[in-house]
Amino acid sequence: MAGWVAIASPLLFRLGGDKGPFDPGQPVEGLLRLGAVLGVLICLAARRKVDPGAPSQASLLNRAAVGPFVGGLLLVTITGFTALGDTSNAVIYGALLAAAIVMVLVRFVVPPLGVIARRALIGPFVIVAAGLYWSFIELVFGTQGATSGLRDRNTVEAALLFLVGFSAVYYAMLIYAPRQIAEREGRGIEWVLRYLLFVVSIVLGIGWLGVLST
């Protein structure tokens, strides 16, 4: 994930043009986002394979993931439909109905899923979320783009404030919470270290964009 955030996502963001996360006319991105959301819904609907010998990791930290998870799921879903452009209500309702049918079938037909399968279903959502992060950075930098403003001191200060003030919320909604939905894991200190690695990845990604712009 650190490599994806630091290297691959910035490069794909730069090649993807100047469209923001809520701009229409991005059919490929829209389908990828909605596909990632469908994977999460399937993971939620699927029965969990329980290991009798595994210790329970339910805690306040685990239960706290529910709120950020709902917010992140709504965010990616909205940006997915928006990216598709002028989508009629019939298409939206049809997609929601199809997702509901798939969830019911998965719940009652598919056997219980283990940790690896659940992580595989959540993985695309986390990857899409990491890519969306660069679009939000573009919104902070303004119309000049995420690389051209890096030479401006004010822009750099705005980027740092953005990373400090928003990255924790973003990480909780779109990375930490989905991972907890897939499997309740990790202690508080472990997630703090993972978040710090995420911030370092973002800083390296900004530097990578700066190199590409020269």
Per-residue pLDDT reduced to its tens digit, 85-137? 766 677 777 888 888 898 889 988 989 888 888 888 988 888 888 777 777 76
Q: With beta carbons less than 8 A apart as the criterion, state whether 119 and 183 touch.
A: yes
Answer whether 171's CB lies under 8 Å from 69's CB: no
The per-residue pLDDT for 145 is 47
Predicted confidence band of residue 35 (pLDDT cuts 50, 70, 90): very high
Instruction: Convert the pLDDT of each residue in 131-174 to its tens digit.
Output: 777 777 666 655 444 445 455 566 666 666 766 667 788 888 88
Distance CA 206, CA 5 (A): 10
Radius of gyration for the alpha carbons in the chain, expressed in angstroms and rounded:
18
pLDDT at position 32 over 80: yes
**pLDDT confidence bin for 38, thresholds 50/70/90:** very high
For residue 166, the model assigns a pLDDT of: 75
pTM, entire model:
0.75
Q: Residue 134 corresponds to which tokens in the numbers above?
A: 């660069």
Query: How many angstroms separate the Cα of 66 from the Cα of each of 151, 158, 178?
Result: 39, 30, 9
User: Residue 192: exposed, middle, or buried by beta-carbon count in 10 A (0-12, 13-18, 19+)?
Assistant: exposed
